[in-house]
Structure 1
């Protein structure tokens, strides 16, 4: 087996196992955040309210295990393979959520899951990702994508902070969370490469310290997103879609990875992406009808707007 084959033999199972853990963590944390008083975005007291919740602690343990597996996958595989595989976390989150609510997924949710897996497999086969760089470009080459990511994150935060709609607030938080998660994954790829040089190597570079800031910030936003949204899957679908998109953009723009760019391949990649989007939409819309989230401890604010599937009316990534 070639070196590339060995790397993928490690990276793919690690990425899928990481997706299982992240899906379980998302379902557990989303349910736990509904059991405490609703807070405003970026309110650190949310952690104080959650710390004694067993379900939330299970979610934290699953998150840490998932991040460890993702780091292992990124150490061996390119972002263009590892990050799209994280889309499957939405499937596992739906299954875990159904288990918590003591119901079985119906045929629509199963169909959505199948579409996600088929679309993902087709995308990877057609794109044929190559390159496995773990060093960021330097200088002006970082600016176009960096500015775009900062602008999208800021737009999501502004939407969350200044909108009066619970659904738009949740959407803004989910967008900011997805971008920060994807950026964290790209930086973790660099850190993983540095660890392979030597255990002390990451501590000599700014990348690790930036991960230590962006990662927890994105996690705080995710907990706010789960608490604000009435249903898990619609908000998680936004996060799950943006995370790999940002990771792929970083791989292509900042780390020298490449994919099949012929006209026929681009058409096939677009079609595969569309299949994935349809699968995510099916999972999100169906789960919003089936979900039976527990009532929040704080009543909705007077005059709040009805929920449309993204957020809980009156609620404050």
Structure 2
């Protein structure tokens, strides 16, 4: 089943990357109107077919991620979702017709190798389908407190520091959203109607919306290179922790801890290099 969840997570990452590139392409070929124009005039690019395809892909990728969480450990699915950066690079290079430079390709290879090494070394497995309420209480309260403190501190900072701190808050939100979705799917056995009888689905929607809004603040605060390591590693690492603490998933540590930390460091370094590429950051479409 882990192979199935990995494939589904890869498909979800591919869908997210394709949606991002398509919607960027739509915005680049049909720029927004001037600030004083009506709202529909400023958002006229949403009428383009490429933007609508991107919106549809986001729905499909969300379903694929949910299925991945339903069939595999949280500590596998969320780290695999970091491949969205890699897919974004490749697809943007095709759409905007500009091949990445050698340094970007090395970063691509480094991130892929780092992720593969971490998953092979940690070997996440096992776990329960549902989370007892006391575990949610023990995990959510400290996370909420840390998020509030980081958000307050982040709003007082400027530039890269602000982007990095707000990126950490966003990562916490996304990790908990994924955990709540997984718990919801584990609880539902009586059909689609029972889905809306669980508190987890409403909490996941609220946390997910809040995380999306925090992401927008993060992206406005500073460069993607400043926020991406926090977004990428924060989501992945916290998801591994939540997988172990909430769902009882098992990861191999011991002598493997040092190479696991090294592989995470490689992912962090590569994500910074990738996020500096115009193809990933979204600056490339300014050529159109």
TM-score, length basis structure 1: 0.75
SS in 1 for 2:128: coil
Would you say 1:149 and 2:143 are equivalent positions?
yes
Give the match for residue 12 of structure 1: 6
Structure 1 residues 52-72: Cα deviation after superposition (integer angstroms, max 9, x where no partner):
534654443222221111111
Aligned partner of 1:208 among 201, 204, 210: 201
- The 1-side partners of 2:231 and 2:34 are apart by 21
Say whether residues 1:244 and 2:236 are aligned partners. Answer: yes
Change (3 A) 1:158 1:122: same
Q: In structure 1, what is the Cα distance between the partners aligned to 2:280 and 2:259? A: 32
Aligned positions, number: 280
Shift of 1:171: 3.2
Deviation at 1:145, TM superposition (A): 3.3
SS in 1 for 2:192: coil
Match of 1:204, SS? coil
Partner of 1:188: 181
List gaps (5 residues or longer) in structure 1: 1-6, 40-45, 296-317
2:258 is aligned to 267
Distance 1:155 1:30, change over 3 A: farther
Question: Normalized against structure 2, the TM-score is what?
Answer: 0.81
Name the CA distance, whole Å, in 1 between partners of 2:13 and 2:209: 19
Q: Are 1:134 and 2:102 matched, yes or no?
A: no
Instruction: Name the residue aligned to 1:43.
Output: none
CA deviation profile, 1:84-122 (whole Å, cap 9, x unmatched): 101111111223344454311111111111111111111
Shift of 1:278: 2.3
Query: Kindly tell me: are residues 230 and 167 of structure 1, through their superposed partners in 2, closer, same or farther at Cα, counting changes over 3 Å?
Result: closer
**C-alpha distance in 1, partners of 2:156/2:138?**
27
1:163-312 aligned at under 5 Å gives the runs: 163=157, 165-226=158-219, 228=220, 232=224, 234-261=226-253, 263-287=254-278, 292=283
Q: How does 1:86-97 map to 2 (within 5 A)?
A: 86-97=81-92
Structure 2 Cα separation of the partners of residues 176 and 135 of structure 1: 25
